[in-house]
Amino acid sequence: MFKWMVCACFSLLLTSMAAPGADKSDAKFALWPGSYRNAQVTLELKAKPAGGYESTILFRGEKFPLTASGGANQLNGAFQTGDGSFDFTLARDEDSVNLATGGKTYQLKRQGVNPLGGKASAVNPLAAAASSPAREASGGTSGGAPKGYSVAVTTGIGKKLLAHKGEAKSVPAALGSTLQDLSRWFDEKPVAKGAFADAKEQRRGGAPFTATLKGQPVKGLISCVTGDQGADITVTYCRADAPASEWAKLSGDTNAPAGAAVAGIQMHEYAFPDGTGSIQLPEGWKTSAQTTIHGARVEGPAEQTVSLGVNFTVSTPDSFIVKNQIQMAAQARQMGFPPPKPIEMLVAPYTEPVTALKNLIPKLSQLSQRHGGPGITLDKILETPKPTQAVFSNGRAAAIYFAFTKTTGGTPAPYRARGQYESWMIGEGAWYLYVSEAAAPDATFDKDWPVMLAIATSLKTDPQAVQRATGRAIDAQNQNFRAMQKAHATQVAAFDDYFKSMQRNSVIRERSAIDFDEVIRGVRTVEDTQTGHRTSVDLGNVDQIVDKLNEHDPGRYVQIPLRDEMAPLPPPSNP
Is 116 a residue whose pLDDT tops 70?
no
Q: Using alpha carbons, select from 26, 20, 7, 162 the residue that is nearest to residue 450.
A: 20
Q: Are 18 and 72 in contact (CB under 8 A)?
A: yes
Residue 198: what pLDDT? 60
- pLDDT at position 350 over 90: yes
Pick from 95, 98, 234: which is nearest to 178 by CA? 234
Which has more confidence, 211 or 262? Answer: 211
Write down the pLDDT at residue 356.
92
**Contact at 8 Å (CB) between 313 and 348?**
no
More confident residue, 574 or 391: 391
Residue 441: the pLDDT is 95
Please state, for a pLDDT cut of 90, what percent of the chain lies above it.
Answer: 13
Q: Residue 472: what pLDDT?
A: 56
Which residues partner with 68 through β-bridges?
53, 77
331-338 long-range Cβ contacts below 8 angstroms, 24+ apart: 331/499, 332/495, 332/499, 335/499, 335/502, 335/503, 337/498, 337/499, 337/502
CA 57, CA 203: separation in Å to the nearest integer? Answer: 38
Residue 239 has pLDDT above 80, yes or no: yes
Residue 297 confidence (pLDDT) above 60 = yes
The pLDDT > 70 percentage for the chain reads: 76
pLDDT higher than threshold 90 for residue 300: yes
Q: Is the pLDDT of residue 425 over 70?
A: yes
Please state, in angstroms and rounded to a whole number, the distance separating the CA atoms of residues 511 and 566.
8
Fold match between domain 2-110 and domain 144-264:
no
**pLDDT confidence bin for 103, thresholds 50/70/90:** confident
Question: Is a pLDDT exceeding 60 seen at residue 244?
Answer: yes
Classify burial at 67, counting beta carbons within 10 Å of its beta carbon; exposed 0-12, middle 13-18, buried 19 or more.
middle
State yes or no: pLDDT of 17 exceeds 70: no
Res 118: pLDDT: 42
Evaluate if pTM is beyond 0.85.
Answer: no
Q: What is the mean pLDDT of residues 302-306?
A: 94
CA atoms of 475 and 6, how far apart (whole Å): 17
- pLDDT higher than 80, residue 286: yes
Among 93-97, 127-131, 240-244, 283-287, name the one with the lowest average pLDDT.
127-131
Contact 563, 518 (CB under 8 A): yes
Q: Does domain 2-110 have CATH number 1.10.287?
A: no
Q: Is 103 exposed, middle or buried (0-12, 13-18, 19+ CB in 10 A)?
A: exposed
pLDDT of 411 above 90: yes
Q: What is the DSSP string of 281-296?
A: EETT-B-----STT-E
The pLDDT score that the predictor gives to residue 36 is 85
- 298-312, 336-350, 464-478: the lowest-pLDDT one: 464-478
- Sign, CA torsion 353/359/364/365: positive
Mean pLDDT of 355-369: 92
**Are 6 and 13 spatial neighbours (Cβ–Cβ below 8 Å)?**
no
List pLDDT tens digits, range 160-194: 888 888 888 888 888 888 988 898 888 888 888 76
Summarize pLDDT for 523-568 with one digit per residue, the tens: 888 898 988 888 888 888 888 888 888 988 898 899 989 888 887 8
Domain ranges in the chain? 2-110, 144-264, 267-461, 501-566
Say what the pLDDT of residue 483 is. 62
Mean of pLDDT over the chain: 76
pLDDT at 572: 63
Confidence of residue 251 (pLDDT cuts 50, 70, 90): low
Q: What is residue 412's predicted lDDT score, i.e. its pLDDT? A: 94
- Positions of E strands within 428-528: 430-441, 460-461, 523-528
Question: In CATH, what is the architecture of 267-461?
Answer: 3-Layer(aba) Sandwich (3.40)
Listed residue (174, 125, 118, 111) closest to 148, CA to CA: 174
Rounded to whole angstroms, the Cα distance separating 91 from 99 reads: 7
Q: Tell whether the model's pLDDT for residue 5 goes beyond 50.
A: no
Fold for 144-264, please state it. Answer: Protein Transport Mog1p; Chain A (3.40.1000)
